[in-house]
Amino acid sequence: MGVAIIGAILIPGKAAMRLLGLLLVGALLACVPKLLSSTSPPAAVSSNGFVSAPLPDAMAANPHQVLVVGPDCDSPEGVKTRELTRQLIQHNIPVQQASSVAFGSDSGTDFEAIDRVDQVMQAGSPIVFVRGKAKANPGIEEVIAEYHQPSSK
């Protein structure tokens, strides 16, 4: 026969065991959402909404350029990709446009970075990479502001 002491109340027998069981279940249920939501720490987000990301292979030769990744077709995403590239050229910002992106083996073990890039790429086109950060479907002002931000590296 068990006994539970809760505060100044003494609870004998099976009722004590049931109460302790319920308290443990309640405590576990309270912790589950926290455990599930903390599978990876939140990435640092710039004031323009860009998140840290590995450097795509296309930027290896010139990491200070902007990479705009989106479809090369007449879809709304393709039109926005070309327009964003054109506007960056008008602002004298070095830019490269691509329809796909690849990452070298050096980023292959950084699973948090891979997850961040995957989340950005799921959010829509075009995807823009600026100085080790990425954002889905940004406006021209956000890209220009991110490009001109002092480098944190």
Average predicted confidence (pLDDT) for the chain: 78
Q: Give the domain extent around 31.
A: 3-37
Q: What is the pLDDT of residues 40-71, one digit of tens each?
A: 445 578 889 999 988 898 888 888 999 999 99
Q: Residue 110 falls within a domain, yes or no?
A: yes
Quote the pTM value.
0.68
Q: In sequence order, what DSSP letters do the residues of 61-115 get, joined into one string?
A: S-TTSEEEE---SSSHHHHHHHHHHHHHHHTT--EEEES-----GGGTT-HHHHH
Measured distance CA(45)–CA(111) in Å, rounded: 18
Q: Residue 132 falls within a domain, yes or no?
A: yes
Q: What is the mean pLDDT of residues 19-40?
A: 42
Measured distance CA(32)–CA(28) in Å, rounded: 6
Q: Residue 46 falls within a domain, yes or no?
A: no
- Whether the pLDDT of residue 140 is over 60: the answer is yes
User: Are 122 and 62 within one domain?
Assistant: yes
Measured distance CA(141)–CA(93) in Å, rounded: 12
Measured distance CA(68)–CA(97) in Å, rounded: 5
Q: What is the pLDDT of residues 78-100, one digit of tens each?
A: 999 999 999 999 999 999 999 99
- Whether the pLDDT of residue 104 is over 90: the answer is no
Measured distance CA(145)–CA(21) in Å, rounded: 55
Residue with more model confidence, 136 or 5:
136
